[in-house]
A and B are shown apart, each in its own frame.
Chain A
Amino acid sequence: MPRTKSWSRSLRPNQFGGGKVKDRPDQIEENQLVVPLFGTWRRAYFAVVVAFVLEVSFFYFVSRYFS
């Protein structure tokens, strides 16, 4: 038995056994479905995409307007 504390317990070899994988992304334990500021993570991600579109549009505008 390992004598170490919490961090090393996560180091047990292949705790899923025989390479059978249960760690699918869609099995995420979403215990924080209510996300501060945005409500849900989907909305937070959407806000990032909107910010990206606005930022690139601004860069493009600056390029074109001043050239």
Chain B
Amino acid sequence: MSGLDYAVLFSTLLLIAFYGWWKTRSDRDLGHYLQGDSSIRWGTIGLSVMATQASAITFLSTPGQAYESGMGFVQNYFGLPFALIVVCAVFIPIYHRLKVVTAYEYLGQRFDQKTRLLGAFLFLVQRGLAAGITIYAPAIILSALLGWNLRLTILLAGLFVVIYTTAGGTTAVSHTQKWQMAVILAGMGLAFGMILYRLPPDLSFVQAVTVAGKMGKLDAVDFSFDFQQRYTFWSGLLGGFFLALSYFGTDQSQVQRYLAGGSLVGSRFGLLFNAVLKLPMQFFILFIGVMVFIFFQFEKPPLFFNQPAYERVAQGEEGAKLAALQRRYDQAFAQKERAVRSLTTALDSHSAPAIQSATSAVLAPQREIEGIRDQVKETLKAADAKIPTNDADYVFISFVLNYLPHGVIGLLIAVIFCAAMSSSASELNALGSTTVVDFYRPLLHPNASDAHYLLVSKLLTAAWGGVAISFALFANLLENLIQAINILGSIFYGSILGIFLVAFFLRFVRGSAVFVAALISQALVLILFYTTKIGYLWYNVLGCVVVLFLAALFEKTIFRERSVA
């Protein structure tokens, strides 16, 4: 990175953080701190919701996923529009009418205090861990590739956000997210343009897309009923629906975003904005990964994208083995490059047999390269068990650092930091609010003044920031970061969603029945997670259905007798 890149990076981050502080500098209102003010309209809510969900991991991992496995990951979001419709139609009106600050307050009003605390506790555990990963994810990758100190990078990603989130609360978070999202969209649009610009001049866009299709990278929709397959249309539609319903309906980091501003129309329009635009956005980010894949058909990529880790092992005892693999890789790549150029020529000829033959000629060296990469991963693992063998998270950022001009590099690093900051700001804001509203106020200090609660809210937001940064400082790299976040969410979301759905739709069920049902459901999901290989999206469905079923059963049996007695 050059001085220009650093100037772009730091000016972007500082300006946005300063804007957040400036916008809320004289605001001492507790309601604004926890719930935002009327300056937050539906457009800001929409961008804020989008920025909360799209973390740095989205922009690091997603293009890498498309590079490795194609566009199938987009199916993960197929249930999202329907979930948002349900949230708009069912959840939002109730939250607005009851004027709740946190989603879990509703559980207290509908059931009892223990159920409210259970919901809030599950949220704090799940989101507290996720906040650490949100900060850790970009830091580990940027520090590895740029040679930055990991701890300083984590502190850079974490401290800015802790300062303005603690100072300005919900209003600051929503307004900064609007500009962070603008930077993110501009940066990703620019990156896409630069990738197309860097493709060979004799390769048209249609040819590039066709080559990607022939190499199996554009298969976005899979209608098979394979439960072991991680992403299919059905798992995305059903599992994704429950995941999104739980995330948007019951996760305070999102609930706080769309309740900001206090307008029912604003909340609903903000979410419907996401219902329409989320899928195209994910498709676009995945498509960027596919275009990076096409770029690397004509420009030799590194054998392993986590280059610092590779070079470390190459200098040790396994160096000779890696050198041999590198020579095989060079030959296979040269063969594949010639085959891809033949394929583009065949595409020009529009001859079906020629295209089919050229496609087969491309796939053979491609499979060989994949085999060599697997052997490299095994070698790296044998040399150092701590090296993560999944290098997909490094693909996009490696491309950015090695092939894009200075200035653009700074902007795209700023995109990653903006994404990290926007997500973690929402998380810290929600963690602080939930701790105050659901634990501190009802359990410890029920009748204090607004000024007292404002101070405690700020202290707790800062404390959660400290927890997240500490977790990031001491975490180990997980195989694939975006999956780690989704898996973590899926383990807890099913039970939480089940509690809320019982609250909304099973009106005869009371607190104790749903409380015990949720505990059993959570234990069951954890057991399945550790003992089976079910696709993680199904945990959302399972956890939710078990709570619904058991709560109804317990209410009609065990707790019915107790209430009669």
Contact with B along A46-58 (1 / 0, CB 8 A): 0111011001100
Q: Which residues of B contact A4 (CB under 8 A)?
A: 30, 447-450, 453
Complex contact B108–A14 (CB within 8 A): yes
For residue B17, CB closer than 8 A to chain A, the reply is no
| Given contacts A11-B105, A45-B88, A67-B216, A32 and B265 within 8 Å (CB-CB) | yes
> Would you give the shortest CB distance from B103 to chain A, in whole angstroms?
12
Q: Which residues of B contact A67 (CB under 8 A)?
A: 213-214, 216, 218-219
For residue B84, CB closer than 8 A to chain A, the reply is yes
User: Which listed segment binds A: B271-279, B328-336, B518-526?
Assistant: B271-279
Complex contact A10–B453 (CB within 8 A): no
Chain B contact residues: helix, strand, loop or mixed: helix
In the complex formed, the residue of B with least CB distance to A67 is B213
In the complex formed, the residue of A with least CB distance to B286 is A59
Complex contact B510–A19 (CB within 8 A): yes
Residues of A in contact (CB 8 Å), total 43
Complex contact A3–B97 (CB within 8 A): no
In the complex formed, the residue of A with least CB distance to B278 is A55
> Would you give the shortest CB distance from A42 to chain B, in whole angstroms?
9
Q: Which residues of B contact A9 (CB under 8 A)?
A: 99
For the complex, what is the distance from the CA of A32 to the CA of B221, rounded to whole Å? 38
Complex contact B221–A63 (CB within 8 A): yes
Partner of A28, one of B93, B220, B279: B93
Within 23-37 of A, Cβ neighbours of B (below 8 Å) are at 23-25, 28-32, 35-36
Complex contact B221–A48 (CB within 8 A): no
Q: Which residues of A contact B503 (CB under 8 A)?
A: 21
| Given contacts A35-B265, A52-B279, A59-B71, A7 and B511 within 8 Å (CB-CB) | no
Partner of A25, one of B113, B448, B504: B504
Q: Which residues of A contact B74 (CB under 8 A)?
A: 59
> Would you give the shortest CB distance from A4 to chain B, in whole angstroms?
5
For the complex, what is the distance from the CA of A23 to the CA of B90, rounded to whole Å? 10
| Given contacts A16-B109, A21-B110, A41-B89, A7 and B30 within 8 Å (CB-CB) | yes
> Would you give the shortest CB distance from B216 to chain A, in whole angstroms?
7
Complex contact B98–A49 (CB within 8 A): no
| Given contacts A7-B30, A11-B105, A59-B221, A36 and B279 within 8 Å (CB-CB) | no
Complex contact A48–B85 (CB within 8 A): yes
Partner of A48, one of B84, B265, B453: B84
Instruction: Report the contact-size class of chain B (Cβ under 8 Å from the partner).
Output: 35 or more
In the complex formed, the residue of B with least CB distance to A12 is B109
Q: Which residues of A contact B279 (CB under 8 A)?
A: 52, 55-56
Complex contact A16–B34 (CB within 8 A): no
> Would you give the shortest CB distance from B210 to chain A, in whole angstroms?
5
For residue B8, CB closer than 8 A to chain A, the reply is no
> Would you give the shortest CB distance from B533 to chain A, in whole angstroms?
26
> Would you give the shortest CB distance from B218 to chain A, in whole angstroms?
5
Complex contact A32–B264 (CB within 8 A): yes
Q: Which residues of A contact B94 (CB under 8 A)?
A: 23, 25, 28
For the complex, what is the distance from the CA of A55 to the CA of B84, rounded to whole Å? 16
Partner of A41, one of B88, B111, B504, B507: B88
For the complex, what is the distance from the CA of A15 to the CA of B108, rounded to whole Å? 9
| Given contacts A59-B283, A60-B220, A51 and B110 within 8 Å (CB-CB) | no
Complex contact A7–B112 (CB within 8 A): no
Q: Which residues of B contact A19 (CB under 8 A)?
A: 110-112, 510-511
Complex contact A56–B98 (CB within 8 A): no
In the complex formed, the residue of B with least CB distance to A32 is B265
> Would you give the shortest CB distance from B352 to chain A, in whole angstroms?
13
Q: Which residues of B contact A23 (CB under 8 A)?
A: 94, 97-98, 109-110
Q: Which residues of A contact B93 (CB under 8 A)?
A: 25, 28-30
Q: Which residues of B contact A16 (CB under 8 A)?
A: 109-110
> Would you give the shortest CB distance from A18 to chain B, in whole angstroms?
9
For the complex, what is the distance from the CA of A67 to the CA of B100, rounded to whole Å? 50
> Would you give the shortest CB distance from A50 to chain B, in whole angstroms?
10
Complex contact A10–B219 (CB within 8 A): no
For the complex, what is the distance from the CA of A19 to the CA of B510, rounded to whole Å? 7
> Would you give the shortest CB distance from A21 to chain B, in whole angstroms?
5
Q: Which residues of A contact B272 (CB under 8 A)?
A: 44-45, 48
For the complex, what is the distance from the CA of A24 to the CA of B84, rounded to whole Å? 18
| Given contacts A14-B112, A66-B210, A55 and B441 within 8 Å (CB-CB) | no
For residue B398, CB closer than 8 A to chain A, the reply is no
Listed by A's residue number, 26 A-B pairs whose Cβ atoms lie within 8 Å are A2-B447, A4-B453, A5-B450, A10-B99, A11-B437, A11-B441, A11-B442, A15-B109, A16-B110, A23-B94, A28-B93, A30-B93, A41-B89, A44-B268, A47-B276, A48-B276, A49-B81, A51-B81, A52-B78, A56-B221, A56-B279, A59-B283, A62-B220, A63-B213, A63-B219, A66-B213
* Additional pairs, 11, CB under 8 Å, beyond known A2-B447, A3-B448, A15-B109: A4-B448, A5-B30, A5-B31, A14-B108, A35-B265, A45-B85, A45-B272, A48-B85, A55-B280, A56-B279, A62-B209
Residues on B facing A (Cβ under 8 Å): 30-31, 34-35, 71, 74, 78, 81-82, 84-85, 88-90, 93-94, 97-101, 105, 108-113, 209-210, 212-214, 216, 218-221, 264-265, 268-269, 272, 275-276, 279-280, 283, 437, 441-442, 446-450, 453, 503-504, 507, 510-511
8 A-B pairs with least C-beta separation: A66-B213, A28-B93, A10-B99, A59-B220, A67-B213, A25-B90, A52-B81, A48-B275
